[in-house]
Structure 1
Amino acid sequence: MTTVQSALHPMPRTANGTTEAVILDVGHGNCTVLRDGSRCVIVDAKSDRLLYQELVDAGVRRIEHLVLSHADSDHIAGALRLLPNEDFEVGTVWVNSDSQKDSQKWHELLVLLTSLAQAGRLRPRLAICDLDGSDLSLDNVLIDVLHPTLTDIGHGPGKRGKVRPEITTNGMSVVLRVSLEGHPALLLPGDLDSAGLEQLLSRDKDVSAHVLVYPHHGGHSGAGPEDAFTKTLCDAVSPKVVLFSMGRGVFKNPLPEVVAEITRSFPEMRVACTQLSENCHAGALPSGDRGYLLNRPVAVSAESRSCVGTVRVTVADDQLQVEPTHLAHKRWITQQVNAAMCEPDRQLALPRPRVP
């Protein structure tokens, strides 16, 4: 367990009365912590180490709800070690069944949930749909479940039938809209694909949010041109910030065509990646002053791979605020990143070696 560059401008942790959303830099995967004072809801759990550190540092001992958007390993792996940990009390674990997911980690999770439920340690809920939002919310954190519907989880993922549309495992991802103190703060769509998005938008629900955590880590949407999916999604959500929770060197996300569509059609939107994409900066990791990074847990190797790193969303002066700030983060990008996709009009030349 480690915090990135903790010696650089260390910040005091938030007081127990704080309402916040923390999107952890877990590399390729997702994990969001929603806090209302000492109470919290966790959405997805890629890394148990980083999540454990975040909870301990914040003084959280009670996890009201753990929502696992779908059965992929990069969303559930951390739960396998976090849930048995007696340092925390867990209320309810929410996850939808998936007969098409035949992975060892998914099987281990189901066995673990059975064991912990029998021991009275938690309550498993093997169904979560758009009827369950009121059950997840805290006093100052309103959580709306937008997708899937009861009909969707009743049918489950599978091919098109006589009365049901085709829906994939990714298309069944739980989509949450999170409001902090009355402000629509986050849209958390898991790995929602193009078919799932089409179904979600057909229901005429409010999906607007200040921060969009882009689905599937900026990877392929499942069908059709990626720029069309991106434009449809960003049109609907109308975020101020589009955040890619991704790992450097894994699948080379986010896709260049995805970022290009955002910067072309929505130039007012801030684009940020938790880790530095190889599409922006190949080769050795850049250095430079990273004092803008929050003193929060991030996935690191010998040197930090973070770009914006872990992100925190709060309410101040009746407005949503996102940290790290755009200005400080952009300054580092401008100085250190060779060909940042989020700044398409500027590419830095590679430094030339000095001639003796």
Structure 2
Amino acid sequence: MIGAIQKVGNTLFYEVAAQGGRGRGLVLFLFAMIGGIVGAQGGAAKLVGLLLVLPLLGLMGGHFKSWRHGLILLLGLGVGFFNMQWRGNPAPLSVPSQWQQGVVVEGLLAQRSQRGLANRLQLTELVVEGEALPGEAWITLYHQTTSVTPGTRLRLHAKLRTTQGLRVPGGFDYGLWLRRQGVVMTGHSSHPVVALADGGGYAWNRFRWQVSQWIATTLPGATGAVAQALLVGMRDAMALPLQEQWQVAGLYHLVAISGLHVGLVAAGLFQLWRWLLSRRLRWVARWDLKPWAALLSLPGVLAYGFLAGWGVSTQRAVVMAVVLLLALGSGRWPQSWRALQWAALLLLLWQPWDLFGAGFQLSFLCVVVLLGVFSPAAPELAGVMQRAWSPPEPQSSNRWHRLLKGGLESAKASLLLGLVTGPLVAGVFHRVALYGVGLNLLVIPWVGFLVVPVGLLAVVLYPLVPPLAGWLLQLTGWLLWPVQELVSWVNTLPGAWWRVAGQGDDLLWAYVLVVGLAFMQRAYRGPLLLLALLLASWPQSATPPTTLEVTVLEVGQAQAVVVRDRANGWSVLDAGGVVSSHYHVGEHLLSGYLWDRGVQHLQRVVVSHAQRDHMAGAARLLRNFAVEELWLPLRPADEKPRGDLQHLVQVAQQRGVLVRYLSQGFEQRAGELLWRIGHPDPQNLERDANEGCLVVELVAQGQRLLFPGDIEKRGEAALQRSGWLHGVDWLMAPHHGSRTSSSEPFVRASAAKQVVFSVGVANQWGFPKAEVLERWRQSGARIWRTDHSGSLRFCVDKQGVHQQNWQENPLQGCP
């Protein structure tokens, strides 16, 4: 068995090394460094580390003849592990409470972007209350317009907070992501911005911002937003609905500046310099002009990286282009595989956490697949460079034949990339782009060889010949318009909005690694691809729990609860949170959590009342999942429903969801779990949304759990009169702990053993109020707060309601 593994390792290592010429040390160091990074991150380390060690086993099992190999191995593991440990988990900066109420901030504007009606200002060289601070602050400017550009030193009054993201099991840690970018504080302001002086620097960011504003003015609407993303990497210009349109069409990768864009720039600059140099006949006769053209192209490629904003895909493409141009400029044979290895090495040394990002994984996986098919690995080390630059095969003189061959190769590449990246896209983004492969065949040539070249030429000419640049930008808009129309039309087709649950991080990691190894060599490609297919189709475990599971998600100053019963049925009780031009709580937090748990079907979505902090994400849940029922509170017959409630009901009707308007006395049993409604009264005349909201009780395993929504004193008194309040084991604090709720009679009558407050960190209302907290403490209840603990998970059995520490295994759930 060990011998067989070593044989596989021998083949994998030497064929991977062959792709980089004689770079065995580089390959060994890169693999070892990746293993160190994964080991430092934890989680999927065991499974991925086992697979990563296969190439190393081959080296050590018969070809580990030099102490240098062992040193390289240990060095790579150490660099990866300690780099990730040292730089990958920065601690949040403590922000004084008075700064959260508002403080004067000075800083140098490094970059700015437009996000809907708001502006995001990225400030460095911070001074707060006379205290100089390291790092950056990202401040969102509301209800104010400002003409300041990057490089300007400014002052404004802002409310600051620490970089603490929402703590959701298995969710994206936005706070950690910010800290890894060097951001120490975030904040918001609605006060005027005062420009102090030109601080110098950030010339590229200033030019980038000016170009983006020029594009937005010249090309308004969706076409202009897409053009900003395509040409200067300003994807903030694309609001969430527009981003989702391109994701549904399977074309969103085009607006992430990557190899297509950078390759066009590098190739165009190379050919331009070569043509200019060839004008001097003496130079042509005396020197090979390709190295000079390659070296002269380098500044332009790097400048484009700055202009594009240095996203992950841009970093990878620029590094690869620079390595190839340097190799050609130094007279060495350029090799794509070696360039890819150097790109991965440099990027992971710089930002090791990118290894766990979907952008990094997709970018490198696509390049590995393409190189594996169109630039296959050599089976031996000798002669690699000669084959790479051997004379090309004779080409047909028939132009149509060459076009047909190129079209077939493009179709092959598009189909292959669609099939290979499909499972990863589905697992990470929970989306299947049903029409993506066909659309890519049509759109990639159009965008790559028409839209991008014309648009980039307009950007280059913008500061030099503005009238000509404006005409070219208009032409770019005309070329981009049919693409946007096609994208919009595809979104209306059946099956376009296809959402799926994830496979889990461990399986996705293993899939990426196995596919990458399959295309890095030939000998074991078939078995490895079969293994990848097995991993992609492996069903996610859905073992029914033995207890009732209740998870109170941290959604800021709002409320959202997910309930899983013993029959593995899932329900959502309130779906509140933030909805903005670029973020939707129903999509990014609630749906993401449910998909990560393998959920495709919801038995019921309960909305206690029609306010955004309890229903903002409900409509998106109805769209993303197969929902059986929508529960809403019974309202007075003559009351006109609010617009957002009307929209929710329309979505439910379109999706075939049963809508129930409920009042006191309604009961529904799901196995051993009993759902009961205690409020509002069947003759409800309450026009206040808070006082008339649904009060839901869950009874399971002899335990009573009460969800009073936002009822206040009148609603609490009504519950007492009905005799409902007695012996509550667990309770969500009414109205987030406001002064108008949790009255003394309510607290005394409920006698709750545990009380949970769903509140935002440093929220503007100061919830929960101190007197409310004291009232519950005096009653003997145990207090839980989402602003202190993040999301909270509770397991309900016959012994009581037990809080579970989900951090140890975020997606495991109750036993």
TM-score range relative to shorter protein: 0.5 to 0.7
Shift in Å, 1:256: 1.0
* Correspondence for 1:218 among 723, 731, 737: 737
* Correspondence for 1:16 among 515, 522, 544: 544
Shift in Å, 1:231: 2.4
List aligned pairs for 1:1-356, cutoff 5 A: 1-2=171-172, 15-18=543-546, 19-36=548-565, 37-46=567-576, 47-48=585-586, 49-85=588-624, 88-96=625-633, 98=635, 106-120=642-656, 122-125=657-660, 127-134=661-668, 137-152=669-684, 155=685, 157-158=686-687, 168-184=688-704, 186-221=705-740, 229-250=742-763, 251-263=765-777, 265-266=778-779, 268-275=780-787, 307-316=788-797, 318-324=799-805
More helix by share: 2
Gapped runs of 5+ residues in structure 1?
159-167, 276-306, 326-356
Q: Distance in 1 between matches of 2:678 and 2:784?
A: 24
Which secondary structure state, in structure 1, belongs to the residue aligned with residue 745 of structure 2?
helix
Aligned partners of 2:619 and 2:651 also within 8 Å: no
Shift in Å, 1:323: 2.8
Aligned partners of 2:719 and 2:725 also within 8 Å: no
Shift in Å, 1:70: 0.6
Structure having the higher Rg: 2
Which secondary structure state, in structure 2, belongs to the residue aligned with residue 117 of structure 1?
helix
Q: Distance in 2 between matches of 1:3 and 1:40?
A: 24
Question: 1:192 is matched by which residue type in structure 2?
Answer: I
Aligned partners of 1:177 and 1:209 also within 8 Å: no
Aligned partners of 2:701 and 2:798 also within 8 Å: no
Residues 14, 216 of structure 1: CA spacing in aligned structure 2 closer, same or farther, 3 A cutoff?
Answer: farther
CA deviation vs aligned residue, 1:149-204 (integer Å, no higher than 9, x gap): 2112xx3x24xxxxxxxxx22111111111233322x2100001101111110011
Residues paired across the two proteins, number:
262
Gapped runs of 5+ residues in structure 2?
1-170, 177-352, 354-504, 506-540, 577-584, 807-815
Q: Distance in 2 between matches of 1:129 and 1:317?
A: 29
Q: Distance in 1 between matches of 2:729 and 2:173?
A: 26
Q: Distance in 1 between matches of 2:744 and 2:758?
A: 19
CA deviation vs aligned residue, 1:256-304 (integer Å, no higher than 9, x gap): 11112223x22x32112100xxxxxxxxxxxxxxxxxxxxxxxxxxxxx
Shift in Å, 1:145: 0.8
Q: Distance in 2 between matches of 1:323 and 1:101?
A: 42
Aligned partners of 1:231 and 1:261 also within 8 Å: yes
TM-score (norm 2): 0.30
Question: 2:733 is matched by which residue type in structure 1?
Answer: Y
Q: Distance in 2 between matches of 1:98 and 1:205?
A: 21
Q: Distance in 1 between matches of 2:659 and 2:747?
A: 34
Q: Distance in 1 between matches of 2:629 and 2:561?
A: 16
Shift in Å, 1:246: 0.5
TM-score (norm 1): 0.66
Q: Distance in 1 between matches of 2:719 and 2:708?
A: 10
Aligned partners of 2:703 and 2:798 also within 8 Å: no
Q: Distance in 1 between matches of 2:757 and 2:596?
A: 24
Residues 179, 97 of structure 1: CA spacing in aligned structure 2 closer, same or farther, 3 A cutoff?
Answer: closer
Question: 1:90 is matched by which residue type in structure 2?
Answer: V
Aligned partners of 1:29 and 1:75 also within 8 Å: yes
Aligned partners of 2:561 and 2:572 also within 8 Å: yes
Aligned partners of 1:30 and 1:74 also within 8 Å: yes
Shift in Å, 1:5: 9.4
Give me the CA root mean square deviation: 3.0
Q: Distance in 1 between matches of 2:681 and 2:672?
A: 25
Question: 2:589 is matched by which residue type in structure 1?
Answer: L
Shift in Å, 1:213: 0.7
Question: 1:39 is matched by which residue type in structure 2?
Answer: G
CA deviation vs aligned residue, 1:194-230 (integer Å, no higher than 9, x gap): 0111111001124432221101111131xxxx7xx43
Shift in Å, 1:116: 3.8
CA deviation vs aligned residue, 1:42-79 (integer Å, no higher than 9, x gap): 11101313221221232222111111101111001011
Which secondary structure state, in structure 1, belongs to the residue aligned with residue 647 of structure 2?
helix
Which secondary structure state, in structure 2, belongs to the residue aligned with residue 272 of structure 1?
strand
Aligned partners of 1:38 and 1:59 also within 8 Å: no
Residues 25, 2 of structure 1: CA spacing in aligned structure 2 closer, same or farther, 3 A cutoff?
Answer: same
